[in-house]
């Protein structure tokens, strides 16, 4: 880009620098602000996620502990009933009649309002004297007098008794997939406490979620009956609803999943109580529930829902119950999103302010640069005017520029005046020297003509010498080619011998490997021989044992005899194989020795051929050096001939140049005569260069 004014140039460059600087600062501030925003957003979300995780863990663990405590209390009551029944047997120090034990069960229901019922079911005649209690169903006995009282709470709050009935040992599956007699069959089959998953039951006209806690009555390691209590778990729905309400105003969902996958309670699907989780929730939730069954909490915040699955166990070797919490991620992150929006709005406002300040600074910078450019260009315009005046003076070198100040402009005027003084002196010297040049050029022209004749004679002699050297070079080249061919043949022979040596070496290596493999096979055969020996011993022992067994071991004795014969034949075959392998190993070793001898002879051949190749190589190298030396001499003679011819041409050019120089000296004298010069000694010069300080910048 070309500028007609220094003022415009300075204003443009300085203004551009200011604008670029302002844009760079604003751009970097924008970048730094965006990066800070991203960092703050990331840290905020990370801290929020950690806080949410800790909060969900606390809520889930608290609810799990509360639920576990209530369920464990009911399980302990069933254990107490079972323990009391176990003490009724033998000499254990407890003696209660059927009526007294039945009243204990009734008192258990009466003293625990949370229980729906309690029961004890003994095996037939396990309590004794069942036949004496036939027909006493009103007292909790079966038709056959079997002791099976079931005390339950009526709709009015009274506690009444009935026998457990025929469902006690029923294998029929209910809608929930649980057997009708699971409360009795499970303790009898496993001989361990059993907790039946909650299921909906019609109880006194109401549908309740009921779970049953059953403990086997074990006496001297034998199953005598089962004691249990039933508990309504509808209270869990209230616990989960209360806990869910404390989390983001109930925006999420909490549920308790039973060990077999049934929904015990759910704040989001209250009507689904008793149904399988797979029928209500999607495959992702079911998969996470399966992971939680391993016993460790499962957390997932990768999708649209933030999920926590917190397992707990009632029995050590049972499957866990799982407290599930699911929260919408957008609700949880709403605070972080609002904060991000506020920060983004503040960032936009800050950016607008920075851009406005940058625009003001850029405008002020452009104004200052325009004024600065004017102050710099004004003296230069004045200097340009003076130089035009000097240029229009017809070659008058007596004119000088005025010097004002001590800045760069003043230094420029001073140096211009010094240049004019120097040019005046130079032109005076040129005028004085032009006459001397004219005389000297005449003498140079005469000498150049004489030198041209002698140069032609020298050039003829050098051409004859060059022809002789070329013939000698051809002879030496033929000798070098012959030596090179012989060296190549020797090298090929050496390479062939070397490859032969390598092949022999490979043969030796292969023979060694075969010998090693033979030894390994011999060891394997020895091992097989040992195995055959051990098999023979085992077969012998088996024969002895079969003989002791008499008639029953006869078939086994025949098999043992066949095994001994096979072991004997295996041992003989192993010895024959070992003998063959030893013979092969000896022959392989002999072959390896012969191969080594051949390898040694081949190495000697390779060494001899290599020496021949080396000698031929030395001859080839010497011949090549001779050829190169003669070639260099030939090149030198050729170059000398060329230089001589060039000298002849240059002599002719010198003569021509001398004539031209004489003519130019005439024209130079005429040109210098056109300038108006101040002769030496004609008074003092009108101007002396001003002395400037070392720091000559404008002030």
SS (H, E, C) 130-191: HHHHCCCHHHCECCCCCECEEEEECCCCCEEEEECCHHHHCCCECCCCCECCHHHHHHHHHC
Any domain includes 699: no
Residue where a domain terminates, one of 295, 314, 331: 331
Any domain includes 643: yes
Residues 506 and 414 in one domain: yes
- Residue 542 belongs to what domain range? 409-672
Residue where a domain terminates, one of 309, 331, 353: 331
Q: How much is the pLDDT for 600?
A: 83
| CATH number for position 239 | 3.30.450.20
Any domain includes 695: no
Any domain includes 659: yes
| CATH number for position 599 | 1.10.287.950
Q: Count the domains in the chain.
A: 2
Any domain includes 522: yes
Residues 327 and 420 in one domain: no
Residues 462 and 325 in one domain: no
Task: Give the burial string for 93-105 (b: 16+ CB within 10 Å, else e).
Answer: eeeeebeebbbbb
Any domain includes 163: yes
Residues 433 and 536 in one domain: yes
Distance CA 291, CA 31 (A): 44
Residues 277 and 418 in one domain: no
Distance CA 197, CA 207 (A): 16
| CA distance readout (Å), 267 to 241, 272, 309 | 6, 10, 15
Any domain includes 275: yes
Q: How much is the pLDDT for 593?
A: 82
Residues 284 and 187 in one domain: yes
Q: Which residues, at least 6 apart from 401, have a Cβ–Cβ distance to it below 8 Å? A: 383, 386, 387, 390, 413, 416, 417
Residues 272 and 130 in one domain: yes
Distance CA 45, CA 9 (A): 53
Q: Which residues, at least 6 apart from 596, have a Cβ–Cβ distance to it below 8 Å? A: 508
Residues 419 and 282 in one domain: no
- Helix 554-672 and helix 408-549: axis angle, to 10°? 170
What is the block-wise mean pLDDT of the chain (699 residues), using blocks of 10 residues?
69 80 80 68 66 90 95 95 79 72 94 94 87 87 92 91 88 86 94 94 88 93 93 94 90 93 91 89 92 92 90 91 93 67 67 79 79 70 63 60 71 75 72 72 72 73 72 72 74 77 78 79 81 83 80 76 82 82 79 78 75 74 76 77 78 77 75 68 49 39
Q: Which two tokens stand for residue 61?
A: 């663990």
From the list 32, 20, 14, 11, the residue with the least C-alpha distance to 358 is: 20
DSSP code per residue over 66-135 = HHHHHHHHHHHHHHHHHHHHHTTSSSSS----HHHHHHHHHHHHHH-TTEEEEEEEEPTTTSS-GGGGTT
Residue where a domain terminates, one of 300, 331, 362: 331
Q: How much is the pLDDT for 103?
A: 93
Q: Which two tokens stand for residue 94?
A: 């407890």
pTM: 0.47
Any domain includes 130: yes
Residues 281 and 171 in one domain: yes
Task: Give the burial string for 280-312 (b: 16+ CB within 10 Å, else e).
Answer: bbeeebbebbeebbeeebbbbbeeebbbbbbbb
Q: What are phi and psi of 294, to 5 degrees?
A: -70, -15
Residues 302 and 428 in one domain: no
Distance CA 472, CA 632 (A): 12
From the list 265, 364, 384, the residue with the least C-alpha distance to 11 is: 364
Q: How much is the pLDDT for 195?
A: 95
């Amino acid at each position: 880009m070309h500028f007609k004014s220094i003022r415009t140039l300075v204003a443009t460059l300085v203004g551009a620098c200011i604008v670029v600087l302002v844009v760079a600062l604003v751009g970097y501030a924008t970048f730094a602000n965006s990066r800070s925003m991203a960092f703050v957003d990331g840290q905020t979300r990370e801290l929020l996620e950690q806080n949410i995780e800790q909060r969900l863990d606390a809520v889930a663990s608290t609810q799990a502990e509360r639920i576990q405590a209530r369920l464990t209390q009911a399980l302990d009551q069933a254990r107490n009933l079972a323990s009391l029944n176990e003490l009724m047997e033998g000499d254990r120090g407890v003696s209660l009649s059927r009526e007294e034990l039945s009243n204990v069960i009734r008192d258990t229901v009466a003293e625990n309002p949370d229980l729906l019922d309690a029961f004890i079911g003994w095996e037939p005649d396990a309590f004794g004297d069942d036949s004496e209690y036939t027909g006493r169903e009103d007292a909790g006995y079966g038709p056959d007098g079997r002791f099976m009282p079931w005390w339950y709470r009526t709709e009015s709050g009274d506690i009444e008794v009935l026998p457990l009935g025929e469902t006690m040992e029923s294998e029929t599956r209910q809608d929930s997939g649980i057997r009708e007699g699971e409360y009795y069959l499970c303790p009898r089959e496993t001989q361990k406490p059993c907790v039946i998953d909650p299921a909906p039951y019609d109880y006194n006209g109401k549908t309740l979620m009921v779970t049953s806690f059953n403990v086997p009555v074990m006496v001297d390691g034998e199953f005598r009956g089962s004691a249990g209590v039933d508990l309504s778990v509808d209270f869990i729905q209230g616990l989960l609803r209360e806990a869910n309400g404390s989390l983001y105003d109930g925006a999420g969902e909490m549920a308790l999943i039973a060990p077999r996958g049934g929904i015990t309670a759910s704040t989001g699907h209250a009507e689904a109580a008793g149904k399988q989780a797979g029928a209500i929730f999607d495959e992702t939730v079911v998969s996470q529930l399966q992971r939680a069954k391993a016993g460790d909490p499962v957390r997932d915040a990768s999708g649209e829902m933030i999920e926590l699955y917190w397992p707990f166990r009632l029995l050590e070797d049972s499957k866990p119950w799982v407290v599930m919490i699911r929260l919408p991620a957008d609700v949880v992150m709403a605070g972080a999103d609002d904060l991000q929006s506020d920060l983004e709005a503040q960032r936009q406002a800050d950016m607008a302010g920075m851009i406005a300040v940058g625009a003001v600074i850029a405008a002020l910078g452009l104004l200052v640069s325009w004024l600065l450019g004017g102050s710099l260009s004004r003296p230069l315009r004045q200097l340009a005017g003076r130089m035009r005046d000097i240029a229009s003076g017809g070659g008058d070198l007596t004119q000088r520029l005025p010097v004002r100040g001590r800045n760069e402009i003043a230094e420029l005027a001073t140096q211009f005046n010094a240049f004019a003084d120097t040019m005046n002196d130079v032109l005076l010297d040129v005028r004085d020297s032009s006459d001397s040049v004219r005389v000297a050029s005449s003498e140079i022209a005469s000498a150049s003509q004489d030198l041209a004749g002698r140069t032609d004679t020298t050039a003829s002699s050098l051409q004859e010498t060059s022809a002789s050297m070329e013939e000698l070079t051809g002879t030496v080249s033929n000798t070098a080619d012959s030596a090179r061919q012989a060296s190549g043949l020797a090298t090929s022979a050496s390479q062939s011998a070397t490859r032969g040596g390598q092949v022999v070496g490979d043969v030796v290596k292969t023979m060694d490997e075969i010998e090693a493999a033979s030894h390994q096979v011999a060891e394997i055969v020895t091992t097989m021989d040992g195995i055959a020996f051990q098999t023979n011993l085992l077969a012998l022992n088996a024969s002895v044992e079969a003989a002791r067994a008499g008639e029953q071991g006869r078939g086994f004795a025949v098999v043992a005899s066949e095994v001994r014969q096979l072991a004997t034949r295996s041992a003989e075959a192993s010895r024959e194989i070992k003998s063959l392998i030893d013979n092969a190993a000896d022959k392989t070793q002999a072959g390896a020795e012969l191969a080594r001898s051949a390898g040694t002879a081949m190495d000697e051949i390779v060494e001899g051929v290599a020496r021949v190749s080396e000698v031929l190589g030395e001859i080839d190298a010497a011949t090549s050096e001779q050829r190169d030396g003669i070639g260099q001499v030939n090149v030198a003679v050729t170059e000398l001939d060329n230089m001589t011819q060039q000298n002849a041409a240059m002599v002719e050019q010198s003569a021509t140049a001398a004539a031209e120089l004489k003519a130019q000296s005439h024209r130079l004298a005429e040109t210098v005569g056109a300038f108006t010069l101040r002769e030496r000694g004609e008074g003092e010069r009108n101007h002396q260069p001003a002395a400037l300080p070392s720091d000559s910048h404008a002030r």
